[in-house]
A and B are shown apart, each in its own frame.
Chain A
Amino acid sequence: MKKRKKLTLSRKRAIVGLLFISPWLIGFILFYLRSLIMTVKFGVSVATLQDGGVGYTLTYTGLSNFKELFTSHPTFKPVLTASMLDMVVDVPLIIFFSIFVALLLNKKFKGRTFVRAVFFLPVILNSEAIQQAIALSTQLIGGGIASSPDEIISATSTGVNIDYYIGLFRDLAIPDAVFDYIIEAVAQISSIITASGVQIIIFIAALQAVPSSLYEVSKIEGATGYETFWKVTFPMIMPLILTNIVYTVVDNFANSEVVQLSYNTIFTSKDYGLGSLMSLVSMVVVCLFLVIVCGLISKKTFYYN
């Protein structure tokens, strides 16, 4: 009894706080921390499955998995590069697109609720089976909306020669790299729209949180709409651009090919060591990517409060 009385209130609160978070803490240690360590362990050894498929023995092989992955594995390096390139292309597109749409949706107009509901629909219907069916249906019904760049370029089924129009624009002396980026963006429009539901909602919320007095001031001072956007709106939603980038990168990575490859390596070819290493390497690359991007952007970010 005496000992209990000695607990100060803050001590007591600390203990209760720890109790509150304890389920998660145990889970985190059990499922995440331990798993990460185990993944590393798998990565540096060769796992032999025991008979019956249950249980395994690990033999430490050092860095030979690394060597195999980076020198002799036929698909890992190209898939990793492709996934990362996709991410570099897609993330800015999704961010720009969602800012743009949020700006459009922020104004009051009839049917706004309906449109917002439609935009959020892909987040609700993100089941894998449904996605596949939808992708197929897109190709069937789409006509103009092709699902891959190759298709839009050779979209002969619609009876419109897209090549001709692309050729027209190619003559405008836009640099080829920029042009290809735009073409890719247009061809991917369907997947970009589907991937930006949450981001749009977040940006709309951010736009509505901008104090209207700021707009009044800039109007009185005679700023044009363009100036108002860059000097008021953009800085105010800047912190959420960061949030959205993180969200988009994580979301994009979870659906990327390299993750699929590591999953298949583990569960189809039963190569535990190599698969674990793949997921580790790709995770490290994505985390690096996130750290670099966040570092670059958070320096420029303006915080109102």
Chain B
Amino acid sequence: MELVQKYKTEIEKLKNDKLFENKRKKYVRKSKEALLWLFRIVILVGICYVILGPLIGIISSSFFSDSDFANKLVYVIPQNPTMERYRLAWLRLDYIKTLGNSMAYVLSLMVIQVVICSMVGYGFARFEFPLKKLLFGLVVVMIVIPTHTVILPIYVTFQEFDPLGLISLITGKVPNYLGSAKPMFIMTLFGCGLRSGLYIYIFNQFFRGLPKEIEEAAFVDGAGMWYTYFRIMLVNAIPSVLTVAIFSLVWQYNDTFFGNLFNISPDIVISRKITTLQQTISNVDKIMTPGIARLYLYAGIVLVILPVIIVYVVLQKRFIEGVERSGIVG
């Protein structure tokens, strides 16, 4: 009984003790923070695992030797790692050559995208002309309409490419551009390439945010409108130029949709070549076990995404800040 009494008075004492009260509050707050921190860490690690897990799986599987593949006890870390998968995938992809072609294709499209889309974006941002609102609405429509709705007519157009009868007038026959990269270049040149609408939108937002005084100063100093655009505005728009350039680069590199539609040669578009790699390897090299042929595919995929990953790691900040800053927001 006495003991209870003693504790009771003790507790009473503590309750009135301001110092203890403060301490208690501090501990409660700290443990709350710690719990929140734990919660956040658990969730973030989990989500990162969901994203990275398959990637890690692909990378580690690409090093598996046949015995590792057969051994069910081997998980993620191969026992007898081998570079064989890479050797053959490299050979069958004709890696250096295909990658070079692919890069040339993608880079040239990127330059066109940046020039054309920034021009159009600038036109919308700074000039007043009749029907401007409606026309800009059409840019948004272009973003929203899935390309799939218009692919058939585009396909047919390029099958017999003869705008206004001009080409047949000069060369005497109607050319079929399918099977080459020309349709992609033509479409990009006319601002209708892969996600061009989005890029126009980004540039438009960016140019609208630039102060008008820059241009006025240039104009007063006697610069023409085209000069102002190329030498002054474009230089100021470097952040969004970089964003659009990077996105255009990566998305065009990954794109198989237009590649398949126009039947562009897989030697130019590496992302098309990878889709047939597994079949090529199992047919040409007589690797009949689908599971093992898949390991070669994984090696090929690592080879294909390597450039993208490198670009991404180097320019990672640009990517994310690009999305944040350059006008998609707001």
Contact = CB atoms under 8 A, between A and B. Distances in A.
A126 interface: yes
Interface string A205-223: 1101100000000000000
A85 interface: no
B12 to A, nearest CB: 30
A16 B127 contact: yes
B119 A23 contact: yes
Interface in B311-330: 312-313, 316-317, 319-320, 323-325, 328-330
Contact of B329 (A28, A125, A202): A202
Interface stretch (B20-28, B80-88, B296-304): B296-304
Interface in B72-92: 76
Interface string B144-187: 11111111111011011001000000000000100000000001
Contact of A55 (B144, B147, B160): B160
B305 interface: yes
Nearest to B189: A23
A19 B120 CA distance: 9
B130 interface: yes
A84 B141 CA distance: 20
A201 B324 contact: yes
A31 B142 CA distance: 11
Nearest to A107: B40
A54 B159 contact: yes
Given A30-B190, A209-B329, A279 B149 contact: yes
A163 B257 CA distance: 40
Interface string A15-47: 111111101111110111011101100100000
Contact of B116 (A24, A101, A287): A24
A116 B312 CA distance: 12
A126 B76 CA distance: 24
Contacts of B323: 198, 201-202, 205
A246 B328 CA distance: 12
Contacts of B123: 17-21
A141 B329 contact: no
Contacts of B151: 263, 266, 279
B190 A259 contact: no
A140 B57 CA distance: 8
Contacts of B163: 30
B308 A125 contact: yes
Contacts of A290: 144
A20 B117 CA distance: 10
Interface residues of A, number: 91
B44 interface: yes
B192 A129 contact: no
Interface stretch (B2-10, B45-53, B280-288): B45-53
Contacts of B328: 198, 202, 243
Interface in A89-122: 101, 104-105, 107, 109, 113, 115-122
A259 B146 contact: yes
In the A-B complex, the 7 residue pairs with the closest CB atoms = A17-B127, A27-B190, A20-B123, A24-B191, A127-B254, A205-B324, A141-B57
Interface of A: 10, 13-21, 23-28, 30-32, 34-36, 38-39, 42, 54-56, 101, 104-105, 107, 109, 113, 115-122, 124-130, 133-138, 140-142, 145, 189-190, 193-194, 198, 201-202, 204-206, 208-209, 239-240, 243, 246, 250, 253-254, 259, 262-263, 266, 272, 275-276, 279-280, 283, 286-287, 290
14 contacts: A17-B126, A23-B119, A35-B152, A42-B152, A117-B316, A119-B48, A119-B51, A127-B305, A133-B58, A134-B58, A141-B54, A145-B53, A201-B324, A283-B146
